[in-house]
Structure 1
Amino acid sequence: MQKRNNYTEIEDFLGDESFQLWILSKVDEQGWEEWTLENLQRAKLVEDARLLLLAMKVPDSKLSSHQVHESLQKTWFKIEQREELSRNTLKTRKLKIQRYWFSGVAAAILAGIFSVWFFKGDVLSNDNEITYKELVEENSEGLVEQTNNTEKSQTITLSDGSSVLLQPNSKLSYPKIFTGNERKVYLSGEGFFEISKNPKKPFFVYANELVTRVVGTSFRIKAYPDQQNVEVLVRTGKVRVKSNDLVHAPENQEIVLLPNQAVRFARKDFVFNKITNITADPVLVNSATNIEQLSFEFTDIPVAQILETIEQAYLVDIDFPQDKLKDCRLTTSLSDQPLAEKLKIICKSIGNDTNYEMNGNQIVITTSGCN
C-alpha cells in the first residue's frame, strides 16, 4: 500500500481502486483520509484527483453540489487543524492559499459537473423541470384556480372574453381581471385557447418549461406534469413559443408557429421539434378534438345548425326557443373568435333583443325571433 507515496500524477490516483472506492462510495478501508491530511501538497493532488473522478462519475452519483461543497469544507477544516497544531510559521500564508485554492476547486467542480451533464445530453436536470406550483408562485396577483375533475372538457371564460376549453385532469390559474400591459395564465394539463385580440396587451400561457405568447388566435397546449413532451398546436393566427424565465436554458430559442403548425418540446433533452404539417404527424392527428376539426364558416346556414356545431365543439348544452328561430339562417365567420364572441355575433345577427347567459357548460339564449 505504500506505493501511493510515489503517486505524482492525477492518473496514478484514478487508477487506484481503493481511491475510487473512497471517493465514490465513501469507503475508506486503506486510510486515505488520514494519509491525505499528513501533507498539504499531497492534499492538493488528492483533491485534484477527487475533482476529476467526481466529474467523470457525476451522472451516477447521488451527491448534490451542496454535499460536495460541504465535504470539501470539512476536509479543509481538518487540514487547518493539523497546520495549527504544527505551529507552522507560514500558517497565515498557507491559509490564504488554501482558501483561494478551495474556491477554485469548488468552482471547478461545478463547471466539471455541468460540462459532463451537457456532453452526455442531460442538459435538462431536475432543477430545470418546472412545476405548475412554481409557475403560480411566481405570480404576485391574486389568481383563481379551476380544476377539471370531470370526464369531459369544461369551458372557462376569462375577463377579457377569451375562452379556454379545459380537458379532464387539467387545471388553469388566472386573474379575475387582467391588469397591466400583459395577460398571463398558468396551465397544467391540456387546454384549447381562443384569445380575444388586443395587440396592446399580449396574452401569455405558462405551461411546464414553456411560455406561449399570442395577441389574438386559437391554439392547443398539452403540458401534463408527468409526460416528457409539451405540445403547442396552432389552429388560427400566429404563436411564439420559448422557454420561460425560470429555466436555465443553454439558449433562449423562440419558435414561431402559423396555422396548422405545431412544436413538440422534449423536456429532458431540451429540444424543440417544429412540425410544419400537422396532418403528417399521427400523434397530433389522433389527438385532435372536435373544436379543432369543425368548421365555423357558415353560408346561409340555419341558426339551429350553427348552435349545434357550437355544442359539439365546446361540449356545452344550448337552450334556445326553437320555434322562434326555425326560419332563421345566417352567413357568418366565427373561426377566429372565442366562445363568448361567437355567441355575441350570433345574437346580434338574429336581432330583436336576442341575448345569452352562460353558466359553466350551460348556455341559455332568449329571443323574440329573427329580424
Structure 2
Amino acid sequence: MQKRNKYTEIEDFLSDESFQSWILSKIDNDGWEEWTLESRRRAKLVQDARVLLLAMKVPEQTITQPELYKALQTTWIKIEEKENEINSSQNSKIRFLKKYFLSGIAAALVIALGSLWIYNNPIITPESKVVTYNELINENNEGLVEQTNNSDKAQIITLSDGSSVLLQPKSKLSYPKIFTGNERKVYLSGEGFFEISKNPKKPFFVYANEIVTKVVGTSFRVKAYSDQPDVEVLVRTGKVRVKSNDLISKSDQDEVVLLPNQALRFQRKDLSFNKITDITQDIVLTRSVGNIEQLSFEFTDIPVSQIFETIEQAYLVDIDYPKNKLKDCHLTTSLSDQPLMEKLKIVCNSIGNNTTFEMNGNQIIITSDGCN
C-alpha cells in the first residue's frame, strides 16, 4: 500500500479498490483511517475523494448538502486547472479522457444534489439556522475542558460534581473543570449518555446543537451530531425539560417535558419538536438503545462478581478486583439512577472491610480485605 503515499489527485483515490472498500463498505483492512490522520493535507484529499465517491452512489448513500456544494466547487476548479495544464502538444485522446473524467464526476454531483432535493432528504441546508458546537462553547466565559473520543468504543467521563457521561465515538464534550455558580453547563457534539448527580439547587444543562436539556438529577441520552438533521433526547430515569437554544429564533413550543421511556426528536430544519411517548413504537430509537439503557441495576442477594459484570457491560469498563476475597460476597442494593462513581461508592460501602476503588479512564481497580 505504499503507492498511496504518492497520491496527489482525487482520481488516484477513486481508482483504488481498497479505498473504495473502506468508504463504501467500511472495510479498513489496509489502515486507511490511521494513514489519513497522519497529514492534514492528506486528510483534505481523502475527504474530497470520499464525498465524490459517495456522490456517485446516491441515493444509496446519504451526503450532506454542504459537502456536495463544496465538492462541486472543488471539482470545477480542478477541471479548469486540468484544462490549463493541457497544451496543444498533448494527445487529443488523453485530453478528452481527462476532461470527460472530471466532468463526469461533476455531473454526478449535480445529479446527486438534485436527487437530494427531489427526494426531499431531511438534510440541514446552508439556509437553515444552525448552531455549531464552537458557537456554543464561545458563549461560555468559563475555562472549559474538552474531551474528544477518537477511539472505536465509548469512553467514561467523570465530572467534578460526580456526574458521569458515557461519550460515544466521534463525539466530544466540553465542561468546566469545576462547576461554579448556580448552574452546571456542558456542551456536546455527538452522542452521550448522562447520569447526573442530584442537586436541586444547581440544575444541570446539556447544550447540543439548537436545543438545551435541563435536569436536576436523572439519566438520559442526547444524540446531536453536527451533520445530522435531527437531535434526539431519550430519558431512562427521572424527568428532563428540553427547549430551543436562545441562539436561534423561538420555536412554536418553548419547552417539552420528558418522563422515563419517553423521547424527543428535534427537527433542525424547521425547529420543530416531536415528542415520542412510547419509544418501543419508534424503530430508530429502539435499535439505538444501548446496554446502559437496558440493564437493570436492582440487585437482590446477588454475587458481587455479577454486579461488577453488569457495570462492565453497561459502561464498557474493565474492573479488576480480588476475586478470591470477594467470591462469597452477595449484596442487596439499588444502583438505579446513580452516576458511575456513586454506584461504585455504594458497592464498596456495602462490601465494607476497607473496600475502595480507583478509576483511571475505563479501568477500575477495586481493593478489599473481603466481605463484612
Same fold per TM (> 0.5)? Answer: yes
Give the deviation of 1:123 after TM superposition: 12
Matches within 5 A, 1:130-145: 130-145=131-146
Cα deviation for residue 251 of structure 1 reads 3.8
Q: Distance in 1 between matches of 2:127 and 2:263?
A: 26
2: distance between equivalents of 1:210 and 1:126?
Answer: 18
**Would the alpha carbon gap of residues 188 and 353 (structure 1) be closer, same or farther in structure 2, given more than 3 Å must change?**
same
State the partner residue of 2:151.
150
Match of 2:164 in 1: 163
Contact between 1:148 and 1:171, CA under 8 Å: does it hold in 2?
yes
Q: 1:301 to 1:133 in 2, by over 3 A?
A: same
For 2:231, give the aligned amino acid. Answer: V
Q: Quote the Cα distance in structure 1 between the aligned partners of 2:136 and 2:253.
A: 18
Q: Which runs of 5 or more residues in structure 2 are unaligned?
A: 1-122
Greater mean alpha carbon deviation, residues 123-132 or residues 205-214: 123-132
1:319 is matched with: 320
Q: CA deviation at 1:269?
A: 1.6
Aligned residue identity for 2:369: S
CA distance in 2, matches of 1:250, 1:329: 52
Distance verdict in 2 for CA 1:309–1:250, change over 3 Å: closer
1:271: Cα distance to partner? 1.1
- Decide whether the 8 Å contact of 1:230 with 1:266 is kept in 2: yes
1:307 aligns with 2:308: yes
Q: Distance in 2 between matches of 1:125 and 1:257?
A: 31
Aligned residues: 251
Distance across 1 between alignment mates of 2:307 and 2:155: 20
Letter in 2 for 1:333: S
Match of 1:84 in 2: none
CA contact (8 A) 2:213 2:240 kept: yes
Aligned-partner SS, 1:128? coil
Q: Matched residues in 2 for 1:202 and 1:236: separation? A: 16
Aligned partner of 2:293 in structure 1 is 292
The DSSP-based 3-state class of the residue aligned with 2:202 is coil
**Do the aligned partners of 1:123 and 1:270 also contact (CA within 8 Å) in 2?**
no
State which drifts further: 206-215 or 243-252.
Answer: 243-252
Aligned to 1:337: 338
Task: Kindly state the Cα deviation for residue 336 of structure 1 after the two structures are TM-superposed.
Answer: 0.5
Cα distance in 1 between the residues matched to 2:221 and 2:289: 9
Residue pair 1:150, 1:168 contacting (<8 A) in 2 also: yes
8 A contact 1:230–1:265 mirrored in 2:
yes
Listed as ranges, the matches of 1:240-251 within 5 Å are 240-251=241-252
Q: CA-atom RMSD, angstroms? A: 1.7
2:124–2:227 contact (8 Å) kept in structure 1? no
Paired position in structure 2 for 1:281: 282
Amino acid at match of 2:292: I
* 8 Å CA contact retained: 1:217, 1:336: yes
Gaps of 5+ in 1: 1-121
The aligned runs of 1:125-274 (5 Å cut-off) are: 126=127, 128-251=129-252, 253-274=254-275
Give the letter for the 1:289 counterpart. G
C-alpha deviation, 1:335, in angstroms: 0.9
Q: Relative to structure 1, is the Cα distance of residues 146 and 306 closer, same or farther in structure 2, using a 3 angstrom cutoff?
A: same
SS of aligned partner of 2:160: coil
Q: Kindly report structure 1 stretches of 4+ aligned residues shifted beyond 6 Å.
A: 122-125
Paired letter, 1:270: L
Q: Which is greater in Rg?
A: 1
Tell me: CA distance 1:266–1:324, structure 2 relative to 1, closer, same or farther (3 Å). Answer: same
Matches of 1:255 and 1:127, distance apart in 2 = 22
Provide the identity percentage.
77
1:270 Cα deviation (Å)?
1.3
What is residue 359 of structure 1 aligned with on the other side?
360
- Report if aligned partners of 1:154, 1:361 keep a CA contact under 8 Å in 2: yes
8 A Cα contact 1:231 1:264, kept in partner:
yes
Partner of 2:52: none
Partners of 1:127 and 1:200 in 2: CA distance: 36
Q: Residue 253 of structure 2 contacts residue 273 of structure 2 at CA under 8 Å; is this kept in 1?
A: no
**Deviation (angstroms), 1:124:** 9.1
| 1:293-343 deviation line (CA, Å, top 9, x unaligned) | 111010000000000000000000000000000000001111110000000
